[in-house]
Amino acid sequence: MIIHDRKVKQLEKLANTIRQDIIKMLVKAGSGHSAGPLDMADVFTALYFHILHHRPKQPQWEGRDRLILSCGHICPVRYAAMARAGYFPLKTLATLRQLGSPLQGHPELHKLPAVENTSGPLAQGTSIAVGMALAGKMDNKKWHVYGVLSDGEHQEGQTWEAVMFAGNKGLNNLTFLVDRNNIQIDGVTEQVMPLEPFADKYRAFNWHVIEVDGHNIREIVDACEQAKRIVEKPTVIICHTIPGRGVEFMEKKYEWHGIPPNVEQAELALKELRTLRGKITSEHE
């Protein structure tokens, strides 16, 4: 599916809006993760507003693509994208992490329409996505399975068992998108538990590998389209991202992996994002 310049510009502005939603949600909740949700805003915008086959008003539509979020802690970005897509009212975003809210700190199956899995323990989503893709193959379904993974959860053995299985079965209806932001809660991934050579590991397990700038919406869309043309194996799209993207005092700092901004920090972040949105708009006029 070709994406035109005008659509790219619209999605860039929408990603900025979603980043603002994330900041507002986190400061209201007083807890949650900042860096990952902010750096994956471009990926989730591309997914929900161009790539996925889905119907927000018919969330259980049988023909929908399945989106499995394995790294459940970045759920604020998914919630914001879903609200903007029309799955539930925007005002619900203000209930993040509140008792009884459908927007818990990690997504919960059956609490929200079209949330396919409960996620919290890292790496479990990889197995769920692989299982769904295998089921789709067995039932001759046309829908595609997308799995969103963190880089840190590739330190879990379960991830590689699932990757090995999918490569062995040639699940070409499966695409992983990995948030390669190089951080985790304890520090930089390559210092905590090195992942490199990351792409070569996937190749060794019979996956097609694409590496993209995770903040370039056109590259993300093109990679997902390329993945659909690979007929003999699953595809992984390694999205190179900047943790905390869009908020300068958060960018590239692992300390923001698992904490929210306070009121003053949120005001600074929103001011910066609004300024950035103005630049995006002026650049495209």
Bridge partners, 146 (sequence order): 67, 175
Neighbours of 233 (CB within 10 A): 21
Averaged pLDDT, 187-211 = 97
- C-beta of residue 242 within 8 angstroms of C-beta of residue 215: yes
Q: Identify the pLDDT of residue 114.
A: 85
Query: In the structure, what pLDDT confidence band is assigned to residue 283 with cuts at 50, 70 and 90?
Result: low
Q: Identify the pLDDT of residue 277.
A: 75
- C-beta of residue 183 within 8 angstroms of C-beta of residue 254: yes
- C-beta of residue 47 within 8 angstroms of C-beta of residue 146: yes
Burial of 258 (0-12, 13-18, 19+ CB in 10 A): middle
- Domain containing 69 equals 5-283
C-alpha span between 48 and 82 (Å, rounded)? 7
Query: In the structure, what pLDDT confidence band is assigned to residue 113 with cuts at 50, 70 and 90?
Result: confident
Number of domains in the chain: 1
CA distances from 23 to 20, 79, 142, 259 (A): 5, 12, 37, 11
C-alpha span between 10 and 284 (Å, rounded)? 10
C-alpha span between 273 and 18 (Å, rounded)? 10
CATH number assigned to the domain comprising residue 219? 3.40.50.970
Mean model confidence pLDDT for the chain: 96
* Most distant CA pair in the chain, distance: 53
pTM for the whole structure: 0.96
Say if residue 285's pLDDT is above 80: no
Two structure tokens written together for 208: 């097609």
Q: Identify the pLDDT of residue 130.
A: 98
Averaged pLDDT, 107-132 = 93
Q: Spell out where the chain has E strands.
A: 66-69, 145-150, 174-180, 183-184, 187-188, 208-213, 235-240
- Of 279 and 117, the structure prediction assigns the larger pLDDT to 117
Whether omega before 197 lies within 30 degrees of 0, making that bond cis, reads: yes
Q: Identify the pLDDT of residue 1.
A: 66
Percent of the chain with pLDDT over 90: 93
C-alpha span between 74 and 4 (Å, rounded)? 29
Query: In the structure, what pLDDT confidence band is assigned to residue 276 with cuts at 50, 70 and 90?
Result: confident
- C-beta of residue 281 within 8 angstroms of C-beta of residue 13: yes
Q: Identify the pLDDT of residue 188.
A: 96
Averaged pLDDT, 219-230 = 97
- C-beta of residue 255 within 8 angstroms of C-beta of residue 277: no
- C-beta of residue 126 within 8 angstroms of C-beta of residue 163: yes
C-alpha span between 159 and 162 (Å, rounded)? 5
Strands 187-188 and 183-184: antiparallel
Percent of the chain with pLDDT over 70: 97
C-alpha span between 133 and 227 (Å, rounded)? 14
